Amino acid sequence: MPLNKHPQCKLWRFEEPFVFETPYLGKPETIPVLEVGYETWGNPRHPAVLVCHALSMNTHATDLEFPGDETKSWWFSMVGPGRPIDTNRYHVICINMLGGCGGTSGPASINPDTGEPYGLHFPIVTLADMVKSQKLLLDALGVKRLHAVIGGSMGGFQALVWAIQYPDFVDRVIAVGSSAYSNQFMIMTNRVQIDAIQRDPVWNSGHYHGGRQPEAGLAIARMIGFTTFISPLMMEKKFTKYHQSLREPYIDGQFHQQYFHEAENYLHRVADPFTGAFDANSMIYLLQTWNHFDLAVKYGSLAKAVEPVRARMMVIAAKGDNLFPPYLSEEIAKAMQVNGKPVWYELIDDDYGHDYFLIPEIVQEKIAPPLVEFLERD
């Protein structure tokens, strides 16, 4: 079973080759069978809303099966009955990203031709490939049109590609804390995360399946990621200034899992469980997909990239987001305006950091009002 697959996740299996966008040695790359993991909520006869998840999330965007248990879903503040994406009004679908490990085919999947996990033999994945796999599933489910596509962070990448790749299928697009390309800060921090995994001796050039995965490298990668998810100002508010003695963690010549600062302990507290819940090769693949995402490079300019878009677009940014700073969302809005296309740019006055769109109070007070208006506007 894929490591990040939620128990509620359903699988749709396509018994035909899936062709990827990026060729290898001049030949198209394919996998003989495509599996797509997904979950749905609400009445299929209601307008459909596709929720695209971020890097390490899975298909379980809401907590309907476990009401009130915030640990059971990743966007419970946004998706559910009476919430901004109201499952009483919309047919909500969340699909696992191609290349991940939450139900959809990826490096940890078994290659039917060999009986072994693909590992690094899995084809290179682009955002266009991810969206193509999602479209295949929606067609199979009988979804004829999307009222909206919404995603935060890397999910916002997918939302933008949906608007460009299938302009007649999507009515509204909402990119939250996202961008149309990977800036240099993202590329550098993602590169360090990839190197942390690949330099773990257990990684073994990606051939670790059947044994222990590179947990140390994956944990370090995740800690690096978490340093970018909240702003420096929020770090000062979140963690105390308590200092232990320099000798305390090394009592009797032994290293004890207790660090000098609360911030250090926090990083291990959030990163260590991740090593048992995510495939290291999938992490590498998705980070590489992220790093190579650039709509302006692919289409010649960002203005040319959004020329096909027919959907109404909303881009949401926050002042304190140091990973996806507001200028990245502003560039999307300007490209839409150059083409005379409708766009709503919403700048949130909040200093939490990149994960602001996952914080219930911020969602309820600052994101929900304009988002609901955008979804309901004729």
What number is the average pLDDT over the span 267-289?
Answer: 93
**Percent of all residues in the chain with a pLDDT value above 90, rounded to a whole number:** 81
d(CA 142, CA 314): 26
Provide the annotated active-site residues: 153, 321, 354
* Predicted local distance difference test score (pLDDT) of residue 259: 58
Distance of CA 299 to the CA centre of its chain: 23
Does the structure show a pLDDT above 80 at 296? yes
pLDDT band at 260 (very low <50, low <70, confident <90, very high): low
What number is the average pLDDT over the span 216-243?
Answer: 89
Helix, strand, or coil here: 291? helix
Model confidence pLDDT, tens digit, residues 58-105: 999 997 766 655 556 899 999 999 999 999 999 999 999 999 999 999
In 153-297, at which residue ranges do the beta strands (DSSP E only) sit?
A: 172-176
pTM: 0.93
Does the structure show a pLDDT above 50 at 1? no
Question: Which residues, in sequence order, are CB contacts of 54 under 8 Å at separation 6+?
Answer: 151, 152, 153, 154, 155
What number is the average pLDDT over the span 215-222?
Answer: 96
* Predicted local distance difference test score (pLDDT) of residue 9: 92
What number is the average pLDDT over the span 226-247?
Answer: 79
pLDDT band at 155 (very low <50, low <70, confident <90, very high): very high
pLDDT band at 265 (very low <50, low <70, confident <90, very high): confident
Model confidence pLDDT, tens digit, residues 189-208: 999 999 999 999 999 999 99
Q: What is the mean pLDDT of the chain?
A: 92
* Predicted local distance difference test score (pLDDT) of residue 242: 62
Query: Strand order in 343-348's β-sheet?
Result: 10-14, 34-41, 91-95, 48-52, 146-152, 172-176, 312-318, 343-348
Higher pLDDT, 217 or 3: 217
Model confidence pLDDT, tens digit, residues 106-122: 999 999 999 999 999 99
CA 44-164-89 angle, 5° bins: 25
Does the structure show a pLDDT above 90 at 212? no
What number is the average pLDDT over the span 274-301?
Answer: 96
CA 239-187-350 angle, 5° bins: 40
pLDDT band at 356 (very low <50, low <70, confident <90, very high): very high
Q: Which domains does the chain have, with CATH numbers?
A: 10-183+295-376 (3.40.50.1820), 198-276 (1.10.1740.110)
What number is the average pLDDT over the span 272-279?
Answer: 91
Least confident of 153-167, 191-205, 209-223, 264-278: 264-278
What number is the average pLDDT over the span 235-260?
Answer: 62
Does the structure show a pLDDT above 70 at 161? yes
d(CA 3, CA 274): 10
